[in-house]
Every structure is written in structure tokens, then in C-alpha cells.
Amino acid sequence: MYEELIVRGAWWDIVDGVASHRVGGLLAAHPKPMKKTMLAWSRSDDLWKRRTAIICQLRFKDAIDLDLLYGAIEPALGSKEFFLRKAIGWALRQHAWTDPAEVVRYVAVHAKELHPLSKREALKNVRASGRVTAIP
């Protein structure tokens, strides 16, 4: 049902809520099968399924599965699509509240691949927190 909402809704105002609240809830309750599904969605031809895979863990804080997050981001690194670039930055920015050093590390490692929008969004909370001194 959520996949249908994502594909038919096909715009951020529907997709973002379904991704972070509904799909994220399913992922928390059923991590193994949902991780497999999210990794498949991250490589989908459908932009909104790809965005969902990237942002589905927005509310997870320290329970985030970084392998899933990075696995969902990786196929979108070179994308020219605004909504994917923004999703990458948003997901990383949320994680920066929990682990700013890890977000700085990830941005530094992928500096050449990440679009400036994704980098800027990812590092917003890091700069605000003052918890990390070296920011790329």
C-alpha cells in the first residue's frame, strides 16, 4: 500500500511523510526484509522510491543502519535530480545530530561525488553543533 502511495503520489509532500513515518516504521519493525526492499528501491527507475530509500530512517537517531543509509545514497551520488540531492543532504543532516564526526567523514570521503547542495545540507547541523572542528 505504501509503495502505491509513493508511486502514485509522486511528490515530496506525500512521499516524505510516508517514507519517514510509515516506511520507516516498517523498517524498524521488520529490518531484514525491509532493508532488502529499500536497497532495491534505491536502484529503482522511480525517483520517489529512490528518495524513500534514502530518507526512510530520518527518525532513527542512534538506531540508524548506516550500511542501509550509505547503500541507499550510493546509487544517487551522481544524480542530477534535485529531489535526490536534497534527500541525501537531509538524511545526512539528520544523522549529524547523533554523530556529526561520521557525517563529516562521509562528506570528506565522497566530496568529489556529492553535489554541493547535498554537502551543504549534510553539514548544516555539524556547523551549528560546534562539536566538530574540521569541516570540509
Please give the Cα distance from 116 to 129 (Å, whole number): 20
Question: How far is CA 8 from its chain centroid?
Answer: 21
Average pLDDT over residues 78-106: 96
| 3-class state of residue 101 by DSSP | helix
| Residue 21 DSSP one-character state | I
pLDDT digits over 14-32, tens only? 888 889 989 999 999 999 9
Q: What domains appear along the chain, each with residue ranges and CATH number? A: 2-129 (1.25.10.90)
pLDDT digits over 28-52, tens only? 999 999 999 999 999 999 999 999 9
pLDDT more than 70, % of the chain: 93
Please give the Cα distance from 133 to 13 (Å, whole number): 35
Residue listed under C-alpha cell 505504501: 2
Please give the Cα distance from 29 to 69 (Å, whole number): 17
Q: What confidence score (pLDDT) does residue 21 get?
A: 87
